[in-house]
Chains A and B, each alone.
Chain A
Amino acid sequence: MTALDPAPRTDAVVPTTTETVESPEKRRQRLSTGVLIAVVGVLLLVSLGSTTGVARFALSDAFDEVQLGTVPLPGLPTVAVCAVLCLLAAAAFLSGRVHGRLAALAATVAGLAVVIGFLTWAAAGRDLPFPVSNQFAGTLSLATPLVFGALCGVMCERAGVVNVSIEGQFLAAAFAAAVVGSVTQSVTWAILAAVVAGVAMAALLAVFSINYLVNQVVLGVVLNLLAVGVTGFLFDQLVQPAASTYNNAPVLDSIPIPGLSSIPFFGRVLFDQNILAYIAIVAVVVVSVVLYRTTFGLRVRSVGEHPQAADTVGISVRGVRWSAVLFGGVLAGLGGSFFTLASTGQFTKEFTVGNGFIALAALIMGRWRPVLATVMCLFFGFVTQMASQLQTLSTPMPSQLLLVLPYIATIIAVAGLVGRVRPPAADGVPYEK
């Protein structure tokens, strides 16, 4: 097929010198980051007007064995300092004078200043202190399903199958966990059922995208709709009329790790989680090892980058993609079970509320790498937890708007801070043989 093929566009271009200029892409990203930080800084300045009193941050809650007390921060000065720090960081970005580590430092300073400034503004003058240890513990717990979802996405997309249906996989798995958990009254069976449901959804994704070459983004959306429809229908028809039989699954206990869990502050944050949270941590390691250290991982990455190359050395592109997607289904199933088993043991319609999509965003921002994607999940968990904590503080912000913070954070992260990233080259491209 020589004639019409484009010339290889990826020729290694010989640069004339080692000199580089800022590409328009990077410039745009730098400027949008700068503008974004500047806007937040100005917002903080504006909020000075509504900042009164002292903001208190509680380092431990009433149930902790070791009470660490609260840290008071004076509202007005703290917010003012944070605003100025933001503006300085913004200026650094906009001037274009900072690069590399300095830029990373400026971004970190700005990030911290935004969080502290916002929290201080919100908590200043309230009756209750802001519970810091809850904030971190909640972050981990909220991030757990996201991590599973993002890892599912990593497996699929590294193999070249875009997975927009993480949400649907979550939903199906959560439903299965609720019903099977209720019937068997066993957490183990509930988790297994969730995994089966996740894998079943993954199999649908695989068969339509890999065998029938359906556009993967569209397919993902339709599969989500299917999950909403089927779980919704079964819920209405089967579960709702007999909620005590079918919607009454046992809840996961938290498993404190002996010794470690009694460390002040960190013990409760890190070492007193439920089994799924620990599995999530293991899963990050497993996925990393599988992708980068095993022959299967090499094959997964090769079919996601250049399926023809894999094909010409005798690798079954379809087989590898199928395996990767099903493996992803296992992870998504685990993540889905978390929604049911880590909260009330009950399923409600569409109660994964976009977590699957946030996991997808985390995956993209994590550049299709398991560890970085996990960090992004923690970021989203942090924002979500912060929003729900602030709700209880009766802050100046209406609760409905606080609830959309994670979504806005996602948009900002995708648009302002990440810019264009390089996905696996064959991501989303069906392989026709």
Chain B
Amino acid sequence: MTEADPAAPPESGLALRGITKRFGSLVANDRIDLDIRPGEIHCLLGENGAGKSTLMNVLYGLLTPDEGGIFVDGAPVLVRNPKEAIAAGIGMVHQHFMLVEVFTVAENLVLGREGSAGFLSMRKARRTVRELSERYRFDVDPDAVVEELPVGVQQRVEILKALANDAKFLIFDEPTAVLTPQEIDELMVVMRSLRDEGKAVVFITHKLREVREIADRITVIRRGAVVGTADPTEPEGRLAELMVGRAVSLVVDKQPTERSATPRLSLQGVSVANAGGQVVVEDLDLDVHGGEIVCVAGVQGNGQSELADALLGTLPVTTGTVTLDGARISGRSPKEIIDAGLGFVPEDRQHDGFVGSFTVAENLVLNHFDETPFARGIRLDLARIRGNADERVGEFDIRTQGIDTPVSALSGGNQQKVVLARELSRPLAALVASQPTRGVDVGAIEFLHKRLVAERDRGTAVLIVSTELDEVAALADRIAVMYRGRIVGVVPPDTSREALGLMMAGVPTEEALAAAAAAHRGAADDGVPAGEDLT
């Protein structure tokens, strides 16, 4: 579990020695040593918040380390800004793409390397895009405007940018988070071909399956420190234990429950247009009964977000009806819908879920602060608001210094607990939760999953929108796969990952199931939901 000789950086490749980065009292990176060799794919495995991204930002010159150094081919290099990183041969494919969305692909490529001419010459940039695109079979149009491209293609533009700078060391920061299973496969092909060309590829992730599939070497980071290196052949359970620091179980203890006879949340012929007027959900029917969890699976951007917003009423339902316990809620205001008994966990909690500068206590009453018992007339009852907060903090095990701490100071997992605690603290007919565990550590995931199942057991209709197939498999009683605003099919939770992947790409249910079965890969290994061999 040690690097060869920490003192001496190797003669070829990229090496980090003793990198330490502190934010105030927090040590985000603690004396990290890392070797990245040409011609290998090196996985950096760690939980959300383990310090992977901080480390890579140090490597790319976006953060300055407090201690430690970076070596290229045995010689120390100064990387104080991205320019120096690029000069040292380091290229980065950012998790949130560093692309100017209103620019074309060629403009994005030329940005920062325009040359000294003064006037823009796009011809050369276009040629570079075409050449690189041909070489790696990327199929990217240099004149396409980035924001109009699918996410997978945007990512290729990001890769092209690094390649255009002749990067020798390519860092991929959580590159699979936004991709379909098929796109992930294609990305892996690209990463392998880069490796075979002799480039050093760093793959940052927390997904064990992907690590085992592609890594040549694995370094595990926990709480800012390297806790070990591992071989890709090691079982997932062992890797998970290294990553989290204890044995984890992502299998949710879920007993069969009585489904309500009639659906509590029902969508009939629902169409939704996004803010720009494009119809992104079309003629969608879906029933969610009390006591069941229906998961909407699909690749980001296929209308799930808009569907969730429309259920809450923040986007209008253009045609069709939504009923909650038989009463129509489509066309009503969010306030009325919330009062009718819809709980809502938004996809992007920072943006929509809470007010960061508000205290835990205030956020816990954010959507019913003006109702009894928390208000009398327009007077807030602070004592009751605080009392409620004390209760919820205990019940949901929210780790906070106090109920008067602003929520922005909490960790992601605890922030999400605040959101969920608020929604579950009142009687619900239905709960709509989008990406309920995105960016949350494993401990919190376990807890949040338990609470979601408990809510289902209470007889609430639970609709979960998730792009994580592991999560879908762990929670769902039924899975509805969404593609381009329509539901491709509703399938049972034991449907194979391949079949789900195909459906998420728009292949009709029957065909997808047949194709997946034909591939004969299901039973033994990959078809089993991830959690189950994570013991």
Is A314 a contact partner of B415 (Cβ separation < 8 A)? Answer: no
For chain A, residues 270 to 309, give those with C-beta under 8 angstroms from any C-beta of chain B. 293-299, 301-302, 305-306, 308-309
Point out the residues of chain A lying under 8 angstroms from B306, CB to CB: 13
Chain A contact residues: helix, strand, loop or mixed: loop
For chain B, residues 245 to 292, give those with C-beta under 8 angstroms from any C-beta of chain A. 273-282
Identify B119's interface contact among A3, A15, A295, CB under 8 A: A295
Q: Does B117 lie at the interface of the complex (its beta carbon under 8 Å from any beta carbon of A)?
A: yes
**Given A305-B103, A306-B99, A314-B86, does the pair A12, B277 have CB atoms closer than 8 Å?**
no
* Alpha-carbon distance A26/B441, docked complex (angstroms): 42
Q: Does A312 lie at the interface of the complex (its beta carbon under 8 Å from any beta carbon of B)?
A: yes
Is A310 a contact partner of B111 (Cβ separation < 8 A)? Answer: yes
* Alpha-carbon distance A2/B117, docked complex (angstroms): 38
**Given A1-B53, A309-B98, A315-B111, does the pair A295, B301 have CB atoms closer than 8 Å?**
no
Point out the residues of chain B lying under 8 angstroms from A306, CB to CB: 98-101
B360 to chain A: closest CB distance in Å?
16
Point out the residues of chain B lying under 8 angstroms from A21, CB to CB: 273, 277, 279, 318
| CB-based nearest B residue for A19 | B279
**Given A17-B282, A20-B273, does the pair A295, B150 have CB atoms closer than 8 Å?**
no
Q: Does B178 lie at the interface of the complex (its beta carbon under 8 Å from any beta carbon of A)?
A: yes
A and B contact pairs by CB, cutoff 8 A, 8 listed? A5-B95, A5-B350, A11-B300, A12-B149, A294-B120, A301-B103, A309-B97, A315-B111
Identify B107's interface contact among A17, A298, A314, CB under 8 A: A298
Is B96 a contact partner of A5 (Cβ separation < 8 A)? Answer: yes
Q: Does B135 lie at the interface of the complex (its beta carbon under 8 Å from any beta carbon of A)?
A: no
Residues of B at the A interface (CB closer than 8 Å) are: 48-49, 52-54, 57, 60, 62, 81-83, 86, 92, 94-103, 107-108, 110-115, 117-120, 147-151, 154, 161, 173-174, 178, 273-282, 300-303, 306, 316, 318, 347-348, 350-351, 411-412, 415, 435, 438-441, 484-486
* Alpha-carbon distance A311/B85, docked complex (angstroms): 12
**Given A5-B96, A308-B98, does the pair A313, B82 have CB atoms closer than 8 Å?**
yes
Residues of A at the B interface (CB closer than 8 Å) are: 1-17, 19-26, 293-299, 301-302, 305-306, 308-315, 425
B221 to chain A: closest CB distance in Å?
12
Chain B contact residues: helix, strand, loop or mixed: loop
Is A7 a contact partner of B273 (Cβ separation < 8 A)? Answer: no
* Alpha-carbon distance A308/B101, docked complex (angstroms): 12
Is A4 a contact partner of B415 (Cβ separation < 8 A)? Answer: yes
Point out the residues of chain A lying under 8 angstroms from B81, CB to CB: 314
A378 to chain B: closest CB distance in Å?
26
Is B273 a contact partner of A4 (Cβ separation < 8 A)? Answer: no
* Alpha-carbon distance A298/B112, docked complex (angstroms): 9
Is A14 a contact partner of B120 (Cβ separation < 8 A)? Answer: no
Is A313 a contact partner of B351 (Cβ separation < 8 A)? Answer: no
Is B120 a contact partner of A297 (Cβ separation < 8 A)? Answer: yes
* Alpha-carbon distance A302/B108, docked complex (angstroms): 9
Most interface-central of B48, B52, B96, B178 (chain A CB within 10 A) = B96
**A-B pairs with beta carbons under 8 A, tally:** 173
Is A15 a contact partner of B485 (Cβ separation < 8 A)? Answer: yes
Identify B278's interface contact among A20, A299, A314, CB under 8 A: A20
Is B100 a contact partner of A302 (Cβ separation < 8 A)? Answer: yes
Identify A313's interface contact among B97, B113, B119, B303, CB under 8 A: B113
* Alpha-carbon distance A2/B173, docked complex (angstroms): 9
Point out the residues of chain B lying under 8 angstroms from A14, CB to CB: 150, 280, 301-303, 484-485
Is B148 a contact partner of A12 (Cβ separation < 8 A)? Answer: yes
Is A6 a contact partner of B280 (Cβ separation < 8 A)? Answer: no
Point out the residues of chain B lying under 8 angstroms from A20, CB to CB: 273, 276-279
Is B348 a contact partner of A7 (Cβ separation < 8 A)? Answer: yes
B333 to chain A: closest CB distance in Å?
13
Point out the residues of chain A lying under 8 angstroms from B151, CB to CB: 8, 11-12
Point out the residues of chain A lying under 8 angstroms from B102, CB to CB: 301, 305, 425
B231 to chain A: closest CB distance in Å?
25
* Alpha-carbon distance A88/B412, docked complex (angstroms): 56
Leading 9 A-B pairs by shortest Cβ distance: A313-B112, A314-B83, A16-B485, A23-B277, A295-B114, A11-B301, A309-B98, A6-B348, A16-B282
Point out the residues of chain A lying under 8 angstroms from B120, CB to CB: 293-295, 297-298
Is A312 a contact partner of B98 (Cβ separation < 8 A)? Answer: yes
Is B94 a contact partner of A312 (Cβ separation < 8 A)? Answer: yes
Identify A3's interface contact among B49, B99, B161, B484, CB under 8 A: B49
A364 to chain B: closest CB distance in Å?
17
B207 to chain A: closest CB distance in Å?
12
**Given A4-B439, A24-B316, does the pair A11, B178 have CB atoms closer than 8 Å?**
yes
Is A15 a contact partner of B279 (Cβ separation < 8 A)? Answer: yes
Identify B82's interface contact among A24, A26, A312, CB under 8 A: A312
* Alpha-carbon distance A294/B62, docked complex (angstroms): 27
Point out the residues of chain A lying under 8 angstroms from B435, CB to CB: 7
Is B112 a contact partner of A16 (Cβ separation < 8 A)? Answer: no
Most interface-central of B277, B281, B316 (chain A CB within 10 A) = B277
